[in-house]
Amino acid sequence: PPATGAIGGAHLDHEQRAAVHRGGGPTLVVAGPGSGKTRVITERIARLLREGTPPDRIACMTFTRRAAGSMAERVERLVPGRRHQPWITTFHSVALRILRQEADSIEGLTRSFSIYDGAAQARVIRKALSACGLEVRLHPAHDVLDRIQRARRAENPATHPLGPYTEVAQLYEEHLAKANAVDFDGLLIHSARLLAREAEVRERWAGRFEHLLIDEFQDTNEVQLRLASLLGSVHGNVFAVGDPDQSIYAWRGATPDVMLRFQALFEGCATIKLQHNYRSSANILEAADALMAEHQKLPRRLLPTRESGEAILSMALKDAHHEARAIGKVIQNLKTDGQSLSGIGVLYRTHMQQRAIESLFARWKIAFHVVGATEFLERREIQDLLAYLRLIDNPRDEDAFWRAIQAPKRGVGELSAKRLQAVVDEANMDVFWKDRTTLPEAIQSTRVTGGFKGRTREGLESFSRLLEDLAPLASETAARALRAIIDALEPLGWIDAMPGGEGRGDRRSSLEELLSAADDFHERYPDDGISGFLGDVAIVRDLEPDADGEPHRDARAAARDAVQLMTLHAAKGLEFKTVFITGLEEELLPHLRALHVPENGELEEESDEIAEERRLFFVGLTRAKDQVFLTRARSRVMYGNARPSRTSRFHHELPTDLVDILDPEHLDALAIEKDAPPGAGFAVGDAVSHGHYGPGRVVAFAGRDFDARVLVHFEDHGVKELFLQHTSLRRE
Ligand code: ATP
Ligand code: MG
């Protein structure tokens, strides 16, 4: 491998060096996977720091918090012992920070604005739909939302006419403004608009960042691009790296021609290409290249720096459970061979595929960590608590109000809720957002509660008293406020009243977990109050589907040796020694969603959607350093029905000489251990017989102690795995 010059002991090749040492000015590094783009960014930050650039004059943006975290670690290792670190973070965190500080310059917003997540957004859309007389059943909230968001992101919304949803979109925006809330996209949109509009604000922020660096540039959407150009508008030192062949977020507004737009946006931009792949074995690289050969955005081939290595192994299993078992078996083998579990990534196209794998790993005691697991935050008790916290922080948050008033139930049903909302909306008819009566204020007044009778009235009054008691918590830390809320809710039978099979202990332990997250947060950001914590939580969970796990959980899992489970989207930028790509089936990879689009029969080009699925598979393959396993199920349960599946078209396109088909029947015989554990009484090659399976021959051993197993190839039954302790196996 070509290597010139050393930084921090590691060698950079010629092009990498040029990128790291290039002076200021707009720079675009375009190169394939594993070519060291992320490394160039971290080395460049390290160089700037060493040369005396103050850390707070550097901002680096990437796609997920996990990626940001590992880059920050890399920089810390390169330039250790600094008190202040540069700001390495996500676009959304940058936007959130700007908005929190500048909220007062935006009509309708205060600094403690709420962040609406996908569920809250969908609730608002549904309300707006029914207010417009559109049937919710015929207009799925998520589709409507998707359309509205596309229009909103566009620089010129006229290019995305909303048709029947024009009014829905208006009502949606109004609701957010009224609730002092911003949705996830809104973080970016509001901050970009603000910077574009207010020269003073723009110059302040852009002046601060002498150097702006952006990783995974191919997946930035129009708004992010605008934000980047605004933040770079004073110094112009914008350094972006990306790979158009790894663009996998077009469906969320990433513009595939973003590379060209960068060149258009930043005049005199220099382009640097990296040539070598340092990650993957030559075989893996060749297979990945073959997949893209006729589909590349920018024609180029990466030169391998490593040996050919192992062939890609492919297995077809009966169904998803057998698929999970096969993966589990291979992983046990790898472990026995001394591979560390954290070097193994199991990737899937949809979250739905995760369950079978996860439950098998749990049963077989294979340590794993799910990246992007936000189920914890979706839990009912957590959502309830967060609703109270949001409401204390931002009393205008109507979505939180309606959630909190139901936790526990207080006799305020749907009808009374509608009435109350109508009364308040009516009273606020002509009032500017900031001067409106909030729902918590409204129910303090007997003129409002007096309109209700019996249990409902009592419910409203007691809820109002509770909110008054909790209101002073607004100036507390999130951790303390959460404890006080729990103390206030417990006597009301909040947890006890919850339906569902889970035990109370389970719910309590998830509360504990939220509290410890809040404590962690307070420790890390002692100056940030409740808004800060809520922003953190929102950013963690709404990056779906590339969401990162909760930060404290991530830290815990990173400490132990665990297999990493995640979607293909979430795997972007990561690397593993061994990668499993599961569900290589039509309708999964490529996903059904991409197949709905009619194919251009006579034109020979594939649809944009299929092309994006292809790139997704390409991203998956190129995560691997040494070994790739492809698995698929012959029959899969989709949307409730078990259906036979067809092998993915992408699988067929891999060069056959690079892929070995593995018969799952022989999986057990895959050299697990040839040495028998002490006292086994058998050796490999022994002829044996079994009461049920009949005659066979010992092929291998696995596990230790209680878990010790013997693998026997039976003449009539194929390979079976038997526990040594319990087996009735005899030597012939
Ligand atoms: P992706 O497109 O997948 O994000 P990337 O271009 O960002 O990939 P990196 O993650 O920066 O690539 O680097 C890939 C691997 O190659 C890393 O393990 C990195 O440490 C290693 N690497 C990068 N440059 C060199 C080099 N010059 N010599 C040896 N190893 C290198
Ligand atoms: Mg990278």
Q: What is the DSSP string of 32-89?
A: -TTSSHHHHHHHHHHHHHHTT--GGGEEEEES-HHHHHHHHHHHHHHS-S-SS--EEE
Q: Alpha-carbon distance 686 to 413, whole Å?
A: 72
566 exposure class (CB count in 10 Å sphere: 0-12, 13-18, 19+): buried
The upper half-sphere exposure of residue 406, i.e. CA atoms within 13 Å in the direction of its Cβ, equals 15
Q: Residue 31 CA: which ligand is closest?
A: 1
Q: Alpha-carbon distance 627 to 581, whole Å?
A: 11
Ligand 2: centre distance to CA 272 (Å): 15
Lowest average pLDDT, out of 18-22, 144-148, 209-213, 676-680, goes to: 676-680
Lowest average pLDDT, out of 96-105, 175-184, 190-199, 496-505, goes to: 496-505
Q: Which protein residue has the closest C-alpha to ligand 1 atom 14?
A: 34
Is the CA virtual torsion 334, 336, 337, 343 positive or negative? positive
Q: Which protein residue has the closest C-alpha to ligand 1 atom 26?
A: 12
Lowest average pLDDT, out of 26-35, 182-191, 395-404, 639-648, goes to: 639-648
pLDDT surpassing 50 at residue 228: yes
Distances (CA, A) of 478 to 96, 142, 522: 18, 31, 8
Taking residues 232-241, report their average pLDDT: 94
Q: Which protein residue has the closest C-alpha to ligand 1 atom 2?
A: 33
Q: Residue 572 CA: which ligand is closest?
A: 1
State which amino acid sits at residue 312: I
Ligand 1: centre distance to CA 40 (Å): 8
Lowest average pLDDT, out of 9-13, 73-77, 199-203, 214-218, goes to: 9-13
Ligand 1 pocket member 17 (CB < 6 A): no
Contacts with 267 (C-beta within 8 Å, 6 or more apart), sequence order: 26
Ligand 2: centre distance to CA 310 (Å): 24
Q: Residue 68 CA: which ligand is closest?
A: 2
Q: Alpha-carbon distance 452 to 459, whole Å?
A: 10
In this prediction, residue 460 has a pLDDT band, given cuts at 50, 70 and 90, of very high
476 exposure class (CB count in 10 Å sphere: 0-12, 13-18, 19+): middle
Ligand 2: centre distance to CA 457 (Å): 58
Ligand 1: centre distance to CA 577 (Å): 13
Lowest average pLDDT, out of 55-59, 158-162, 190-194, 527-531, goes to: 158-162
Q: Alpha-carbon distance 232 to 218, whole Å?
A: 18
Taking residues 309-337, report their average pLDDT: 91
Q: Write out the two tokens for 354.
A: 């995760």
Contacts with 22 (C-beta within 8 Å, 6 or more apart), sequence order: 239, 270, 272
Q: Which protein residue has the closest C-alpha to ligand 1 atom 23?
A: 36
pLDDT for res 450 = 86
Q: Alpha-carbon distance 407 to 508, whole Å?
A: 15
Q: Write out the two tokens for 551.
A: 């930060």
Q: Residue 10 CA: which ligand is closest?
A: 1
Q: Write out the two tokens for 222.
A: 């129009």
Q: Alpha-carbon distance 79 to 77, whole Å?
A: 6
Closest-CA residue to 614 (of 266, 278, 207, 293): 293
Pairing of β 641-644 and β 635-638: antiparallel
What does the H/E/C string look like for 155-205? CCHHHCCCHHHHHHHHHHHHHHHHCCEEEHHHHHHHHHHHHHHCHHHHHHH
pLDDT surpassing 70 at residue 391: yes
Ligand 1 pocket member 279 (CB < 6 A): yes
Taking residues 701-722, report their average pLDDT: 77
Q: Which protein residue has the closest C-alpha to ligand 1 atom 9?
A: 36
Nearest atom within ligand 1 for CA of residue 16 = 27
Q: Residue 13 CA: which ligand is closest?
A: 1
Measured from the Cβ of residue 637, the count of other Cβ atoms closer than 10 Å reads 14
* 3-state secondary structure at position 384: helix
pLDDT for res 554 = 42
Q: Alpha-carbon distance 82 to 435, whole Å?
A: 46
Q: Alpha-carbon distance 576 to 623, whole Å?
A: 6
- Annotated ligand binding at 309? The verdict is no
Ligand 1 pocket member 278 (CB < 6 A): yes
Q: Is the peptide bond before 55 cis (omega within 30 degrees of 0)?
A: no
Ligand 1 pocket member 419 (CB < 6 A): no
- Annotated ligand binding at 31? The verdict is yes
pLDDT for res 625 = 97
Higher pLDDT, 623 or 553: 623
Asked whether the beta carbons of 226 and 196 are under 8 A apart, the reply is yes
Contacts with 496 (C-beta within 8 Å, 6 or more apart), sequence order: 504
% of the chain residues with pLDDT over 90:
44
Closest-CA residue to 23 (of 199, 270, 222): 270
pLDDT for res 655 = 94
- Which residues have CB less than 5 Å away from ligand 2 (the ion)? 37-38, 573
Nearest atom within ligand 1 for CA of residue 274 = 6
Taking residues 18-42, report their average pLDDT: 94
Mutation test residue for ligand 1: of 278, 568, 575, the one with most atoms within 8 Å of CB: 278
% of the chain residues with pLDDT over 70:
89
For residue 660, the surrounding DSSP H or E stretch is strand 659-661
Q: Write out the two tokens for 385.
A: 């608590």
Asked whether the beta carbons of 408 and 384 are under 8 A apart, the reply is no
Q: Write out the two tokens for 636.
A: 């899969």
Closest-CA residue to 288 (of 51, 352, 296): 296
Nearest atom within ligand 1 for CA of residue 32 = 2
Lowest average pLDDT, out of 14-18, 335-339, 449-453, 703-707, goes to: 703-707
Ligand 2: centre distance to CA 392 (Å): 40
DSSP state of 310: P
For residue 642, list its beta bridge partners: 637
Q: Which protein residue has the closest C-alpha to ligand 1 atom 29?
A: 278
pLDDT surpassing 70 at residue 551: no
Nearest atom within ligand 1 for CA of residue 12 = 27
Ligand 1 pocket member 16 (CB < 6 A): yes
Mutation test residue for ligand 1: of 35, 247, 622, the one with most atoms within 8 Å of CB: 35
State which amino acid sits at residue 332: Q
Ligand 1 pocket member 36 (CB < 6 A): yes
In this prediction, residue 308 has a pLDDT band, given cuts at 50, 70 and 90, of confident
Nearest atom within ligand 1 for CA of residue 278 = 16
Q: Write out the two tokens for 160.
A: 């995305």
- Annotated ligand binding at 64? The verdict is no
Ligand 1: centre distance to CA 19 (Å): 14
- Annotated ligand binding at 34? The verdict is yes
Ligand 2: centre distance to CA 594 (Å): 26
Closest-CA residue to 405 (of 442, 377, 378): 442
pLDDT for res 599 = 54
pLDDT for res 548 = 36
Asked whether the beta carbons of 566 and 370 are under 8 A apart, the reply is yes
| Angle at the Cα of 426 from the Cα atoms of 106 and 429, rounded to 5 degrees | 40
State which amino acid sits at residue 622: T
Ligand 1 pocket member 328 (CB < 6 A): no
Asked whether the beta carbons of 295 and 334 are under 8 A apart, the reply is no
DSSP states along 592-654: HHHHTSPP-SSS-PPPHHHHHHHHHHHHHHTTEEEEEEEEEESEEEETTEEEE--B-HHHHHS
pLDDT surpassing 90 at residue 468: yes
Ligand 1: centre distance to CA 494 (Å): 51
pLDDT for res 10 = 65
Q: Alpha-carbon distance 529 to 642, whole Å?
A: 49
Ligand 2: centre distance to CA 276 (Å): 14
Distances (CA, A) of 208 to 205, 472, 484: 5, 35, 39
* 3-state secondary structure at position 352: helix
pLDDT in tens, 556-606: 444 578 999 999 998 989 999 999 999 999 999 999 878 865 555 555 567
Asked whether the beta carbons of 571 and 279 are under 8 A apart, the reply is no
Ligand 1: centre distance to CA 575 (Å): 9
Lowest average pLDDT, out of 152-161, 200-209, 537-546, goes to: 537-546
Q: Alpha-carbon distance 73 to 529, whole Å?
A: 26
Q: What is the pTM (predicted TM-score) of this model?
A: 0.80
Q: Alpha-carbon distance 431 to 421, whole Å?
A: 15
Q: Alpha-carbon distance 697 to 712, whole Å?
A: 5
* 3-state secondary structure at position 676: coil
Asked whether the beta carbons of 668 and 721 are under 8 A apart, the reply is yes
Q: Could you give phi then psi for residue 653, rounded to 5 degrees?
A: -85, -10
Q: Residue 20 CA: which ligand is closest?
A: 1
| Angle at the Cα of 617 from the Cα atoms of 323 and 306, rounded to 5 degrees | 100
Q: What is the CA radius of gyration of the chain?
A: 28
pLDDT in tens, 498-545: 776 556 677 777 788 888 888 888 887 888 889 989 988 877 654 433
Q: Which protein residue has the closest C-alpha to ligand 1 atom 19?
A: 36
Mutation test residue for ligand 1: of 39, 71, 248, 623, the one with most atoms within 8 Å of CB: 39
Ligand 1 pocket member 33 (CB < 6 A): yes
- Annotated ligand binding at 340? The verdict is no
pLDDT surpassing 60 at residue 626: yes
Ligand 1 pocket member 34 (CB < 6 A): yes
Ligand 1: centre distance to CA 72 (Å): 16
- Annotated ligand binding at 572? The verdict is no
Asked whether the beta carbons of 245 and 297 are under 8 A apart, the reply is yes
pLDDT for res 502 = 54
- Annotated ligand binding at 114? The verdict is no
pLDDT in tens, 653-668: 999 999 988 877 666 5
Ligand 1: centre distance to CA 6 (Å): 15
Contacts with 291 (C-beta within 8 Å, 6 or more apart), sequence order: 614, 617, 618, 621, 650, 653, 654
Ligand 2: centre distance to CA 216 (Å): 7
pLDDT in tens, 423-452: 888 888 877 767 788 999 989 888 888 888
285 exposure class (CB count in 10 Å sphere: 0-12, 13-18, 19+): buried
Lowest average pLDDT, out of 10-24, 91-105, 139-153, 192-206, goes to: 139-153
* 3-state secondary structure at position 258: helix
Q: Write out the two tokens for 413.
A: 């049903």
Taking residues 449-467, report their average pLDDT: 91
Ligand 1 pocket member 38 (CB < 6 A): yes
- Annotated ligand binding at 505? The verdict is no
Q: Alpha-carbon distance 564 to 346, whole Å?
A: 6
CA 172, distance to chain mean position in Å, is: 26
pLDDT in tens, 691-711: 888 999 987 787 666 667 788
Q: Is the peptide bond before 244 cis (omega within 30 degrees of 0)?
A: no
pLDDT in tens, 368-381: 988 865 667 778 88
Pairing of β 303-304 and β 87-90: unpaired
